[in-house]
Structure 1
Amino acid sequence: MPRSGRARKLIGAFLAVLLAGLAMTVTAAPASAHAIVVSTDPANYRVLDFSPPVVSMQFSEPIEVGLAGLRLIDPQGTDIRIGQLGHANGKSETIAAAVPDVLENGTYTVVWHVVSADTHPVQGAFTFSVGEASASGAPELAGGGADPVLATVYTAVRWVGFAGLALLVGSAFFVAWCWPGAADRRRARLLFWSGWGGLLAATAGTLLLYGPYAVGRSIAAVADPAALGTALGTRMGLMQVLRALLLGVAAAGALWYPRASRRRQDAGAKPPDHRDRIRPAAVVLGFAVALAATWSLATHSAAGAQVALALPIDVVHLVAMAVWLGGLAAVGAALLPSGDLAAMRLALPRFSRTALVCVGLLLATGTYQAWREVGTPSALFGTTYGKVLVGKVVLAAVLVALGAAARRWVRRHYGFAIVTISDKRRARRGPGDAEVTRFRRVVAVEAAIAAVLLGLTAFLVNAEPARAEQASERAAVQGGAAGGPANLAVPFDTGGGPAGRGQLALVLLPGQVGPNEIHLSVLDADGGPKSVAELRVQLSLPDRRIGPLPVPLQYAGAPGHYVGGGVRIPLPGNWELALTVRTSEVDETTVRVPVSVR
C-alpha cells in the first residue's frame, strides 16, 4: 500500500464513494440462482385415465411469460398443438397452456424453457402418460440447441460493453484524478467518446439480441419487433434502458466539464491541487457505481442466498477493473504520446498508486466471486466455467507482473524527490526516448492482455456457473455405449476435505425406453456405506434439449442406498444422469454420467 498521506486519502475517498453507491444496490430481494420447478400438472411420470385439458408448471420464483415456452411431444416425437402460454390463476410463479385436442394413449414429453432470476435461460422436461405408458419410445430426432452464431454475437456484444465501460470510466477518472489538464486533450477525449459510443452500441445490441438468445431462437429473430418488445419488459431490458439514460448523463457531463475548466483557466485560477481533484474524481466513481450496477443487477450476482454481499462486491469488482484498465489505455494512448514531461511526472505516479489500489480490490472481490461461482477445486478444473476462470487468473497474474514492472519504472524516473540542482535537471529532462519507447511497449502488451481478459469476462458472465455445471472429468465412466443396463461407479469430491470425498455406485435397469429403475449407493473412500445430507438425480437428453427430468429417490433402508423407481425414459439417445451430492450446508458437487438408452 502507498505510504504517502495523499495516497491514503485517495484510498479513503475511493472506498467511501464506492460504499455510498453500493448501499443503494443491495435492496434487491434475494432470489434463487436458477428457477426451480416446484410442481407440474400432470405430475412427472404420472399415468392419467383421461387426456389432460391443461399442462401447467409452478416455479420457485416469478416467471416472465414472454420469454417462457412449452412443447408437448407425443410418443412418435411429433409436436402437439397447445394453447397460448400464460400464468395459471394469475400467479406469476406459474405457466400454463391449454391442450385443445384429446391425447391418445401413450407417454408424452413436456419440454420447457424459462428465464431465471439471474436472467439466464433455464430449461427442462417432464413426462406423463395417458391410459398407459408407451411400450416403446419415439424415434430419435435431430437435435436442436442454441444458435451458435447468436451465442457468439451476443458474447461479442458483451465484450464491447465491458471494453466501453473500461474506456469510459477509466479515461474519465484518469483525467479527473491523475491528469486534470487533459480535459481538452484530443486523445483523452477520443478515448472517452470511444468508450461512450462502444457502450451505447453494446447496450442497443443487448436489447436486440437478448430476447432471441433467452428463448433459444436463431439470430434471424433479431429483426422481429416482438422480440425487442419482449426484451424491454424483462429485468435485463430495464437495465439496458437505465444504462442508456446514464450514458446520456455522461455525455452532458463530458461536454460541460472542459468548458468549465477553460473558464477557470481564463479567470486565472491556480492549477488544481489535491482537494480540487477529489470532487470530480468522486463524481466519476459514483457514476461508475451506477453504471456497474446495471450489469450486476442482471447477472449471477443478483441471484442466490448471498445477494446482499455478492451484489456490492460485483460492483466494486467492475469499477476497479474499469478504473485500472481504462486508465492503462489513457496512459498508453494519451499521456505518453503527448510528450508532456511535466504531466508525466504528476500523472504517472498518481496512476501507479491508483492501479495498486485497484489490483488489491480486484484480488479480494475476485476471490469471493470465484468461491461463490465455483465452490470446489473439482469444479475449478472439471467445468468449462472453472477452466476459463483459471485462464483468466493466469492472464491477470501476467498483467499484474507487467504492472509491477511498470510501477518500478515510474518510481525510478518520476518518484524521486527533487532536492539538488541535479535532481531538477533530471526531472526537467525526463527519461530518454528509448526508455519511453520501451515503457510504451510494456503498456501496449498490458492493453492487449486486458482486451483478452475482458473477452473471458464476457464469456463467464453468459456461462452457467460452475456450481451448477459441476462435473467430474475423472469419472471412469464405462458401459451403456450401445444401450441397455448400466452398472458403474464414479468418484465425487464436494470440496469438504476427507468427509466430502467418496464414490457413487449406480445401476440403471433395463436402460431402455419406457419404465426404468435406478439404484444408487453412496460409498466412502474405503468403499463402505456413507450417509450424505442430500442426494438428487436428474436425467437430460442434450441432443434434443430435453431435460432435466427429475428422478424421485426413496431411501432404501440401508445406509447410503437409494432407489428411484418408475423412471420413464420417453426417447432413445445419449442421455445424461446428473448426480448431485451435498455433504454439508455448503459442500456440494454434481457428477454427470452419460448413459445410452435404446
Structure 2
Amino acid sequence: MVALAGLLIGFFAVLLGPAAPASAHAVLVNSDPGNGTIVPDAPNKITLNFSESVQLLSGKIQVLAPDGSRADQGDPAAAGTSVTIPLRSGGGRGTYLVSYRVMSADSHPVGGSLTFSVGAASAPPTATVDDTEVDPVVRALIPVGKYLGYAGLVLLIGPTLVLALLWPHRLSRTGPGRLVWTGIGLIIFSTLLAIWLQAPYSTGSGLFDVRVGDLRDVLGSTFGAIMLVRLGVICAAALLLRPMLRGSGDDSKTDLALLGVLGVAAIATWPLTGHPTASPVAGVSVVVDAIHLAAMAVWLGGLVMLVGFLLRKADQRELGAILPIWSRWAATAVAALIVAGVIQALIEVASLDGLINSTYGRLILAKVGLVAVVLGFAWLSRRLVQSKAAEESPRGLRRIVAAELAITAVVIGVTSALVQIAPPRSAEASQAAGASTTVTKTLTDQRMAVQIDVFPASVGNNSIHLYAYTPDNKPLTVIEWSATAALPAKGIEPIEIPLLRITDFHAVGDIALPQAGEWTFKITVRISEIDQSTLSTTATIR
C-alpha cells in the first residue's frame, strides 16, 4: 500500500504540477536577412540558423509580403541546423514577416517570427496564426504519458529479470506475470499516447483537432520511427515472454539472450527522443541515459518483486539464496544509476549557476535529495540482508523496501517533468542568441527619418548600418554621414565611427564597443550644402 501511494503521489505530481509554457530546446541563433534589418533589394531566399538540428513541419513556415500576400514559394529545406525558405522574385518594398515552427532534435516544437524590410520599413503584415502556442491540455498530458512509460519499464524489466534468474520453481508465476503484462500494456499505451500527442504538440492544435495528415507527418518523422520501433520491440518481447510467464518448462537460454537484446533496444528508444540527442556529446548522452534507465528499471522492478511477492511467499531457505544475490544486483544498479545521473547532470547543467538558478537545475537538486533518502533506506535493507535478519523475519525488510518504492515513484514523477523542461545549456544558447540580435532604432525630425541598426548588440566587434528616408518613407540622398558612440555612465567619451557610404541612402561602419551598458549613438546627416540634421538615441549593449 505504501508503494502504491508513492506511485499515485508521483503520478499526480506530474498531472497537477505547474503547467509552465512549453520550453523550446533549440533557439534561432541568426537569420539572413537579419531580424529588423533593411536590405536594398528583395532576396531570393531566407536562411534561418538554429542552435540545434531541426526538422520541418508541414505548412508551418510562411513569409508574408508587406501587402499580406505570401512571399514564399516552393518548399523550405532543412539541412542540420539551417532552414532555407525560397522567395518569389521581384518582391516589393516594405516590411516582410517570417513566421516559423519547426521540430528540434529532442522532439520539442520551436516557433517564432522575425521581420526584415526591403528598401524601407513599413507597417509589418499580421500573422494569421501563433506559431509559439501549445495547447495546455496537450502540454499537461505529455509528462503523464512519459510517467506511464517509465512505470511500464519498471514493471517489465525488473520482474522479468527476477523471474528468469531468481524465482523459486515452486512458486506460482501468476502474480508476477500480471505485473509484466501490466508493464507491457503501460508501455504500449504510453507509446500510442505519445504518437497521438506529438501531432497537436507539433502543430499547436487541440487534443482532438488531429487530422490524418498530422499523424502521417508524425509517423514519418524521426520521433515516429523510433516510437514504431519501440512498439515492434515490445510486441516481439511479449511473444518471447509468454512461455516464461506461464512457467512451462525451463526457460530457453536463446530466448533469454534474445530478450536481453530486445530490452536494450527498447530502452534505447527513450533517450533517442529526448534531450540526449541534442546534447553536445550526443553519443555519450544516449548511452549514459540508456544505462540510467536500465539501472532504474532493474532496481525498482526488483524491489516491486521483493515487496509484492518474494518477501511474503518465499521461505527462509529460498530467501537465504535470493537476498544476497539481489543485494549485489541492487548495489550494482544503484552505482550505475548514480554515475550515469552525475554524467547526465554535468552535460545538461554545465555550470553551478545553471544548477541553482534554473528550473531544470532545481528539479535535479530535488531529485538528488529524494534519491539520497532512498539510498538511506537501501543501506538499511542491505544491512538486514547481510545480518540474515531478513531471512528469518522478512516483514521489516518488506516495510523498508515499500518505503523505497514510495519515494522512487515520486522520483520518476520528477524525471517525467524534467524531460519537458529546457536544460540550462539550451537556456544559455537562447540567451546568447538573444544577446546577439540586432538593435534597431528609428530617429526622426522634420527633414528626415534615420534608422540605425547595431549588430550584434553585445560587447565586442559591432557593425553599424544607417539608412536615411524622407518623411514620406522614400530613400533620401545623403551627401555626408558622421556618427559617434558614447557610454556616459562609465565615463567613455564619444568614439568616432568610421562610415562607408554603400548607396545614396545607406552607410555602414564597424566599431568595437568595449563595455556593456546604455550607449548613446549620435548621427549627423548632411543632405545639402546647408541642410543637415543631428539625431541621437540610446541602445542597450549586453
Match of 1:217 in 2: 205
Note if contact 1:65-1:85 (Cα within 8 Å) is conserved in structure 2.
no
**AA aligned opposite 1:237:** G
Match of 2:421 in 1: 463
Note if contact 2:26-2:104 (Cα within 8 Å) is conserved in structure 1.
yes
Distance 1:348-1:67 versus aligned 2 partners, 3 A rule = farther
**AA aligned opposite 1:312:** V
Note if contact 2:31-2:48 (Cα within 8 Å) is conserved in structure 1.
yes
Structure 1, residues 275-309: CA drift from partner, whole Å, max 9, x if none? x9998776554332211111122222223342232
Note if contact 1:289-1:316 (Cα within 8 Å) is conserved in structure 2.
no
- Unaligned runs of at least 5 residues, structure 1: 1-32, 265-275, 416-426, 473-491, 493-503, 530-552, 567-576, 580-598
Note if contact 1:65-1:86 (Cα within 8 Å) is conserved in structure 2.
no
Distance 1:230-1:315 versus aligned 2 partners, 3 A rule = same
Distance 1:256-1:103 versus aligned 2 partners, 3 A rule = same
Match of 2:142 in 1: 154
Distance 1:407-1:244 versus aligned 2 partners, 3 A rule = same
Measured in 1, the distance between the counterparts of 2:317 and 2:541 equals: 63
Match of 1:254 in 2: 241
Match of 1:323 in 2: 298
Q: Which has the larger radius of gyration?
A: 2
**AA aligned opposite 1:401:** G
Match of 1:121 in 2: 109
Note if contact 2:348-2:425 (Cα within 8 Å) is conserved in structure 1.
yes
Measured in 2, the distance between the counterparts of 1:85 and 1:393 equals: 50
Note if contact 1:67-1:214 (Cα within 8 Å) is conserved in structure 2.
no
**AA aligned opposite 1:64:** Q
Secondary structure of the 1:65 match is: strand
Match of 1:451 in 2: 409
Match of 1:96 in 2: 85
Structure 1, residues 516-548: CA drift from partner, whole Å, max 9, x if none? 6586559xxxx999xxxxxxxxxxxxxxxxxxx
Identity %: 29
Distance 1:45-1:62 versus aligned 2 partners, 3 A rule = same
Distance 1:211-1:182 versus aligned 2 partners, 3 A rule = farther
Note if contact 2:47-2:83 (Cα within 8 Å) is conserved in structure 1.
yes
1:432-511 aligned at under 5 Å gives the runs 436-470=394-428
Note if contact 1:69-1:85 (Cα within 8 Å) is conserved in structure 2.
no
1:222-233 aligned at under 5 Å gives the runs 223-233=210-220
**AA aligned opposite 2:344:** Q
Q: Which moved more, 1:383-392 or 1:116-125?
A: 116-125
- Unaligned runs of at least 5 residues, structure 2: 1-24, 445-450, 461-488, 492-507, 522-539
Measured in 1, the distance between the counterparts of 2:427 and 2:541 equals: 10
Secondary structure of the 1:199 match is: helix
**AA aligned opposite 2:99:** V
Q: Is it true that 1:171 corresponds to 2:159 in the alignment?
A: yes
Match of 2:385 in 1: 410
Per-residue deviation at 1:328?
A: 1.2
Measured in 2, the distance between the counterparts of 1:195 and 1:294 equals: 16
Aligned-residue Cα RMSD (Å) equals: 4.4
Measured in 2, the distance between the counterparts of 1:408 and 1:277 equals: 35
**AA aligned opposite 1:263:** G
Measured in 1, the distance between the counterparts of 2:280 and 2:223 equals: 20
Per-residue deviation at 1:382?
A: 0.8
**AA aligned opposite 2:38:** V
Distance 1:254-1:554 versus aligned 2 partners, 3 A rule = farther
Note if contact 1:67-1:115 (Cα within 8 Å) is conserved in structure 2.
no
Note if contact 2:159-2:180 (Cα within 8 Å) is conserved in structure 1.
yes
Structure 1, residues 211-252: CA drift from partner, whole Å, max 9, x if none? 22133332233x321221111011111111001111111111
1:381-400 aligned at under 5 Å gives the runs 381-400=356-375
Match of 2:190 in 1: 202
Per-residue deviation at 1:391?
A: 0.8
1:39-438 aligned at under 5 Å gives the runs 39-40=31-32, 42-48=33-39, 55=46, 57=48, 63-66=54-57, 69-72=60-63, 81=70, 86-88=75-77, 93-96=82-85, 106-134=94-122, 145-179=133-167, 181=169, 184-221=172-209, 223-258=210-245, 262-264=248-250, 284-338=259-313, 340-413=315-388, 430-431=392-393, 436-438=394-396
Match of 2:537 in 1: none
**AA aligned opposite 1:94:** V
Structure 1, residues 481-516: CA drift from partner, whole Å, max 9, x if none? xxxxxxxxxxx9xxxxxxxxxxx9xx9897999866
Per-residue deviation at 1:168?
A: 0.5
Measured in 2, the distance between the counterparts of 1:81 and 1:345 equals: 75
Note if contact 1:171-1:326 (Cα within 8 Å) is conserved in structure 2.
yes
Structure 1, residues 189-232: CA drift from partner, whole Å, max 9, x if none? 111111010001011111111122133332233x3212211110
Distance 1:182-1:559 versus aligned 2 partners, 3 A rule = farther
**AA aligned opposite 2:145:** V
Per-residue deviation at 1:82?
A: 5.8
**AA aligned opposite 2:289:** D
Structure 1, residues 175-200: CA drift from partner, whole Å, max 9, x if none? 12232538842111111111010001
Measured in 2, the distance between the counterparts of 1:578 and 1:323 equals: 52
